[in-house]
């Protein structure tokens, strides 16, 4: 019962993505996941900035989003192809 109450507990966190703060209301249990994801996004943006220095920030954000979208679709496809136990 206590786990159910805790799993519905929300909290506000501010994450920085590409130097811009975003205030989010999230499930408290997801805070570490959200922070890790923000760090990964910033790492991807930095990598794209180094690789394509003449682009603007919107391009880097779009490239990071497309990368995560492709990874997600690939994972979903792979999961659907695995036989059920």
pTM of the shown model: 0.78
Domains and CATH numbers, the chain: 2-81 (3.30.160.880)
3-state secondary structure string, the chain? CHHHHHHCCEEEEEEEECCEEEEEEEEHHHHHHHHHHHHHHHHHHHHHHHHCCCCCHHHHHHHHHHHHHHHHHHHHHHHHHCCCC
Per-residue pLDDT of the chain (85 residues; tens, 9 = 90+): 344 444 579 999 999 999 999 999 999 999 999 999 999 999 999 999 999 999 999 999 999 999 999 999 999 999 999 876 6
Cβ atoms of 22 and 42 within 8 Å: the answer is: no
């Amino acid at each position: 019962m206590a786990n159910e109450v805790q799993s519905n507990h929300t909290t506000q966190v501010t994450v920085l993505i590409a130097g811009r703060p975003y205030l989010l209301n999230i499930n408290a249990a997801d805070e570490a996941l959200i922070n890790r994801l923000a760090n990964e996004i910033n790492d991807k943006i930095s990598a794209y900035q180094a690789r394509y220095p003449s682009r603007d920030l919107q391009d880097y954000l779009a490239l990071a989003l497309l990368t995560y979208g492709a990874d997600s679709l690939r994972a979903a496809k792979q999961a659907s192809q695995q036989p059920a136990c």
